[in-house]
Homo-oligomer: A and B are copies of this chain.
């Protein structure tokens, strides 16, 4: 009996949905469940050792965030990454980088910066260790912490969705993170954090914009390369 099903009996009432939701969400974002993977309710209920009801509730929440697609009366599967409308994604991502960083410079409190700095150290360590997966997730966590310091839940929730989507995207290409580029991100983060601390909203916004555009152009390069590969097949 594996760990998940062994929790069957000791599970607190009401905790089942959250467990299933968190695990599936991570598996989708880490591409352990790649886009298009079929989601079978009975299979999941066997795996997690619970009935289909809490499984379904977790699936409804995942569908609400666009992580899975549900065809009525038919199969449900992990949602595809939309490569055709990628520019919409980049537009939204850059704008949210800018606005959340700007607001962080305006509204942050000292304790916010502590959390941000801790994550920046984690990110630097991941870069040093060349651990691409850790880089991806700590980078998202860092920028989310900055967004939270900006104290606008509307922007923060959209940004979270975009960062998650990006986590999936970057996971596709994490091999190509290798040489000098990550270190540059570490330096850019330091500059952004300094601007936030100095409450220099204009500078923070500009740095965030440049940082975001760096990332976007990097992803676009990877996409281009991949598209060329596709064509050449």
Q: Which residues of A contact B (CB under 8 A)?
A: 13-14, 53, 56-57, 60-61, 64-65, 72-73, 85, 88-89, 91-92, 95, 99, 103, 151-155, 158, 161-162
Contact = CB atoms under 8 A, between A and B. Distances in A.
Contacts of A14: 72-73
Nearest to A65: B64
A152 B61 contact: no
A155 B64 contact: no
Contacts of A103: 91
Contacts of A73: 13-14
A88 B53 contact: no
A60 B18 CA distance: 13
Contacts of A99: 95
A35 B130 CA distance: 50
A161 B154 CA distance: 9
Contact of A88 (B88, B92, B154): B154
A60 B65 CA distance: 12
B158 A162 contact: no
A71 B128 CA distance: 43
Contacts of A60: 57, 60-61, 64
Contacts of A95: 95, 99
A130 B1 CA distance: 67
Contacts of A161: 154
A13 B61 CA distance: 21
Contacts of A151: 85, 88
Contacts of A91: 103, 152, 154-155
B13 A92 contact: no
A103 B85 CA distance: 14
Nearest to A162: B154
A16 to B, nearest CB: 12
Contacts of A155: 88, 91-92
Nearest to A165: B154
